[in-house]
């Protein structure tokens, strides 16, 4: 585009610094809004949605996602177990906390049934999970129920591994 054609396209005057500054300011505002909008419009997922996302990651064998969806205390426990295992082995490949998961190696042994939020109190929640196992009792799958504990961390729900017993 020549200066003459630019001048004709802009009503007889070439685009000046004012127009460029206005466009730059406008694009800066748009960029700020675009950055802020997801935060402002972000709806926190429910404990039920967090459990579903966790179960989907388990089913897909996504060890990183499974680990990321765990409560910090559960992640700390897994790091500790991996560290202890690494000190007792002769070296070679070091285990990571994600290596401790058996996700994705076999088809799930249960079909997920009902998920029900039992309680949400502050930064803690409990979700009941009902599943039908592949085990059969008189020709019918065995239904098992367990309660998962969740902790809210930085506006997202994380799964707390059951420990002890």
Helix (H, G, I), strand (E, B) or coil at 132: strand
Considering the domain boundaries, does residue 23 fall inside one?
Answer: no
Q: What is the pLDDT of residues 119-149, one digit of tens each?
A: 999 999 999 988 777 666 666 666 788 899 9
Bigger pLDDT: 37 vs 62? 62
Full domain range(s) for residue 121:
47-160
pLDDT at 37: 41
Considering the domain boundaries, does residue 80 fall inside one?
Answer: yes
Q: What is the pLDDT of residues 79-113, one digit of tens each?
A: 888 888 888 776 677 777 887 776 555 555 566 77
Considering the domain boundaries, does residue 69 fall inside one?
Answer: yes
Considering the domain boundaries, does residue 97 fall inside one?
Answer: yes
**Number of structural domains in the chain:** 1
Residue ranges of E strands in the chain: 110-121, 124-137, 140-153, 156-160
Considering the domain boundaries, does residue 36 fall inside one?
Answer: no
Kindly report the CATH number assigned to the domain that includes residue 156: 3.10.450.100
Considering the domain boundaries, does residue 100 fall inside one?
Answer: yes
Going by pLDDT thresholds of 50, 70 and 90, the confidence category of residue 32 is very low
Considering the domain boundaries, does residue 75 fall inside one?
Answer: yes
pTM: 0.63
Strand partners, 124: 121, 151
Considering the domain boundaries, does residue 21 fall inside one?
Answer: no
Torsion sign (Cα): 96, 97, 103, 104:
negative
């Amino acid at each position: 585009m020549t200066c003459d054609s630019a001048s004709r396209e802009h009503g007889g005057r070439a685009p000046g610094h004012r127009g460029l500054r206005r466009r730059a300011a406008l694009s800066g505002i748009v960029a700020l809004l675009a950055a802020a909008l997801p935060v402002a419009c972000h709806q926190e997922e429910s404990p039920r949605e967090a459990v579903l996302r966790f179960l989907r990651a388990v089913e897909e064998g996504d060890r990183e996602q499974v680990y990321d969806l765990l409560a910090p205390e559960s992640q700390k426990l897994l790091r500790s177990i991996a560290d202890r295992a690494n000190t007792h082995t002769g070296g070679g490949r070091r285990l990571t906390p994600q290596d401790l998961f058996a996700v994705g190696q076999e088809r799930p042994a249960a079909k997920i049934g009902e998920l029900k939020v039992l309680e949400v109190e502050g930064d803690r929640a409990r979700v009941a999970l009902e599943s039908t196992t592949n085990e059969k009792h008189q020709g019918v799958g065995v239904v098992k129920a367990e309660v998962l504990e969740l902790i809210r961390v930085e506006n997202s729900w994380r799964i707390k591994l059951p420990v002890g017993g």
